[in-house]
């Protein structure tokens, strides 16, 4: 299930390291991040990214830190770390990486930022810079006041104005230089992790080289000291020397992993690109499995359910143990207004995926949408299990609220609705629903405590206190 979530509950305090510096220089940009980035959720894609990063995190000594992979709904190539707990990857980075090794190289670089503690160190530098700016401003203001009191000493007043402006540029350049050094260190760490896991750094080099070639004209004549990253050509030359020294430079990706990569790219294309774009990327003459996957997705999305089901059934015939084909069949039936028929393929998908919580939520949605009261208790059990494991997907709580409402358990229905609203960042609705839930629960019970937590929760940074 490729699910678009408008915005994460948790806004990013820092996006990429480069953005962190930009926020210091131009604070007005911060308002663009108030609601957090738009997120895509898909079990297949997220599992692939986790499989890519697991050996790298192990090599970095971070395997037990529960680093999460988050897919951002942006078509441009980008990946970044933001809070020390998550690696963010634009779906465009996955689409534009032709081999697993290319995206793995980028993930190794981002792991280098995490392992080096670059975010916390940058926050310290930002705090120091802020203090220096305040001191400079106070000293400059004092000089200007002294000039005014000295009978119009314009020289002293001008010196004060200069004192207020010059340190800002010096501090900015110092911070940018520091960030460039962090990028270089992340490159080195990334290659080190790839070597430790027996993987080639060629993909990392190819990716950065491609962006160097694309940006050479734009970067020509630019001041290297005001670039947030090292000058591309310089950085890539250093990376190439480091990567080519690895004994794994010529190592290729496993064919099975390449196929998984191609399948995810095809799925993303089917869901995220225009139908004519999908068919240009995967012509009807292309009978490969990834092409057939993309065709099936775009066919169902554009309303030809009968044809889409035939295509999906063809995929299932080829790989009957592939949980994501069964999931796609269930999702197509559910969104095509046939929820009762969606239950069987979604049950199969849940079983084959070892109870993946996002697929469980889709099954719970089908059970609720079937309007069969015999499925109500099962839906509640499945959705409670799914939301316990996947705590940041509002859809699970929304379906749980509907199931409880069907059963007449309005206290739990209000609580689940409040949890969904809170995850969406709708604080006022969340508090109102949680307050009502509190009146339905006995004081001190687990439901009452959860509702009280929502009522008393403060808005997250960047959210309005509506």
Whether 334 is in a domain gets the answer no
Q: What is the pLDDT of residue 18?
A: 32
- Highest-confidence range of 102-116, 180-194, 306-320, by mean pLDDT? 306-320
- Mean pLDDT, range 349-373, rounded to an integer: 97
Residue that has been written with the tokens 């190794």 in this structure: 108
Encode pLDDT of 252-261 as tens digits: 999 999 999 9
Number of structural domains the chain divides into: 1
Query: What token pair was written down for 70?
Result: 């988050």
* Dist CA 228 CA 112 (whole Å): 17
Q: What is the model's pLDDT at position 43?
A: 96
Instruction: Tell me, yes or no, whether 258 lies in a domain.
Output: yes
User: Do the domain assignments include residue 178?
Assistant: yes
Q: Which residues contact 272 (CB under 8 A, 6 or more apart)?
A: 2, 73, 75, 91, 95
Task: Tell me the angle at which helices 323-335 and 305-318 cross, rounded to the nearest 10 degrees.
Answer: 170
In terms of Cα–Cα distance, which of 343, 81, 101 is closest to 205? 101
Residue 425 lies in a domain: no
Q: Classify 229 as helix, strand or coil.
A: coil
Q: Enter the tokens of residue 273.
A: 């690109």
User: For residues 224 and 412, which has the higher predicted lDDT (pLDDT)?
Assistant: 412
pLDDT of residue 306: 97
- CA-CA distance, 159 to 357, in Å (whole number)? 63
Q: Point out the least confidently predicted range of 84-98, 158-172, 394-408.
A: 158-172
Which range (83-92, 166-175, 184-193, 368-377) has the least confidence? 166-175
Task: Give the model's confidence band at 395: pLDDT under 50 very low, under 70 low, under 90 confident, else very high.
Answer: very high
Each residue of 111-132: b (16+ CB within 10 Å) or e? Answer: bbbbbbebbeebeebbeebeee
What is the extent of the structural domain holding 99?
1-123+174-272
Residue 2 domain flag: yes
pLDDT band with cut points at 50, 70 and 90 for residue 215: low
What the block records as the tokens of 165 is: 């402006």
Q: How many other CB atoms are there within 10 angstroms of residue 352's CB atom? A: 18
Sheet of strand 86-90: strand arrangement: 3-5, 39-41, 68-72, 86-90, 79-81
Q: Which of 86, 79, 56, 61 is nearest to 201 (CA)?
A: 56
Residue 277 within a domain: no
Among residues of the chain, what percentage have pLDDT more than 90? 61
Better pLDDT: 12 or 312? 312
Cα–Cα distances (Å) from 45 to 260, 323, 380, 451, in that order, read 9, 13, 26, 33
CB 119 within 8 A of CB 14: yes
Judged by average pLDDT, the poorest of 173-187, 292-306, 350-364 is 173-187
pLDDT of amino acid 83? 76
Encode 255-313 in three state secondary structure: HHHHHHHHHHHHHHHHHHCCHHHHHHHCCCCCCCHHHHHHHHHHHHHCCCHHHHHHHHH
Mean pLDDT estimate for the chain: 82
The band of 145, judged by pLDDT with boundaries at 50, 70 and 90, is: very low
**Do the domain assignments include residue 243?**
yes
**In the structure, what pLDDT confidence band is assigned to residue 84 with cuts at 50, 70 and 90?**
confident
For 6-47, the pLDDT digits (tens) are: 444 443 333 333 333 322 322 222 223 335 568 899 999 999
The pLDDT value recorded for residue 406 is 94
User: What's 150's DSSP letter?
Assistant: T
**If you average pLDDT over each of 77-81, 87-91, 236-240, which comes out highest?**
87-91
45 in a structural domain: yes
Residue 318's φ and ψ, nearest 5 degrees, are: -75, -40
Looking up tokens 């926020």, which residue turns up? 23
Task: Give whole-number Cα distances, 358 to 34, 355, 379, 453, in Å.
Answer: 26, 9, 14, 25
pLDDT exceeds cutoff 60 at 99? yes
* Alpha-helix residue ranges (DSSP H) falling in 63-117: 91-96, 100-115
280 burial via Cβ count (<10 Å: 0-12, 13-18, 19+): exposed
pLDDT computed for residue 28 by the predictor: 26
Per-residue pLDDT, 176? 57
- What percentage of the chain has pLDDT greater than the value 70? 72
pLDDT score recorded for residue 301: 95
In angstroms, the first-to-last Cα distance of the chain is 32
The residue behind tokens 């690696």 is 87
Angle, alpha carbons 357-360-361 (nearest 5°): 90
Which single residue is written with the structure tokens 């009191």? Answer: 149
| H/E element, 366 | helix 357-369
Please state the rounded mean pLDDT for residues 235-261: 93
Bridge pairing between strands 68-72 and 86-90: parallel
- Backbone φ, ψ for residue 191 (5° rounding): -65, -40
Contact by Cβ (8 Å): 113, 119:
yes
Query: Which of 147, 123, 94, 90 is closest to 261 using CA atoms?
Result: 94
Higher pLDDT, 161 or 455: 455
């Amino acid at each position: 299930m490729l699910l678009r979530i408008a915005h994460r509950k948790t806004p990013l305090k820092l996006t990429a390291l480069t953005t962190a510096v930009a926020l210091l220089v131009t604070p007005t940009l911060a308002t663009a991040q108030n609601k957090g980035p738009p997120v895509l959720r898909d079990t297949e894609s997220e599992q692939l990214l986790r499989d890519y990063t697991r050996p790298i995190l192990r090599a970095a000594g971070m395997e037990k830190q529960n680093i999460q992979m988050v897919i951002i709904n942006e078509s441009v190539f980008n990946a970044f770390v933001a809070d020390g707990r998550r690696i963010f990857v634009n779906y465009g980075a996955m689409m534009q990486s032709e081999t697993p090794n290319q995206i793995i190289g980028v993930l190794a670089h981002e792991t280098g930022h995490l392992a080096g503690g670059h975010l916390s160190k940058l926050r310290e530098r930002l705090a120091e810079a802020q203090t220096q700016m305040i001191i400079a401003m106070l000293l400059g203001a004092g000089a200007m006041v002294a000039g005014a009191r000295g009978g119009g000493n314009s020289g002293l007043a001008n010196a004060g104005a200069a004192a207020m402006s010059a340190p800002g540029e010096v501090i900015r350049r110092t911070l940018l230089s520091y960030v460039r050094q962090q990028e270089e260190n992340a490159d080195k760490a990334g290659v080190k992790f790839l070597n430790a896991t027996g993987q080639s750094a060629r993909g990392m080099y190819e990716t950065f080289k491609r962006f160097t070639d694309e940006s050479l004209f734009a970067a020509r004549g630019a001041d290297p000291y005001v670039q947030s990253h090292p000058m591309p050509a310089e950085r890539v030359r250093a990376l190439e020397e480091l990567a080519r020294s690895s004994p794994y430079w010529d190592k290729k990706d496993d064919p099975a992993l390449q196929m998984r990569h191609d399948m995810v790219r095809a799925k993303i294309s089917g869901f995220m690109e225009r139908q004519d774009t999908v068919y240009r990327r995967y012509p009807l003459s292309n009978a490969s499995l990834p092409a057939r996957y993309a065709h099936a997705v775009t066919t169902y999305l554009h309303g030809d359910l009968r044809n889409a089901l035939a295509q999906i059934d063809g995929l299932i015939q080829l790989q009957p143990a592939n949980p994501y084909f069964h999931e796609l069949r269930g999702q197509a039936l559910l969104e095509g207004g046939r929820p009762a028929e969606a239950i069987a393929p979604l049950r199969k998908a849940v079983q084959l995926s070892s109870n993946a919580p996002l697929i469980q939520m889709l099954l719970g949605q089908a059970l609720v949408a079937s309007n069969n009261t015999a499925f109500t208790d099962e839906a509640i059990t499945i959705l409670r299990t799914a939301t316990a494991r996947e705590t940041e997907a509002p859809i699970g709580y929304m379906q749980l609220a509907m199931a409880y409402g069907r059963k007449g358990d309005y206290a739990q229905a209000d609580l689940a609705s409040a949890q969904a609203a809170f995850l969406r960042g709708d604080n006022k609705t969340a508090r109102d629903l949680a307050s009502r839930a509190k009146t339905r629960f006995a004081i001190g019970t687990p439901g009452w405590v959860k509702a009280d937590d929502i009522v008393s929760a403060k808005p997250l940074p960047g959210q309005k206190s509506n």
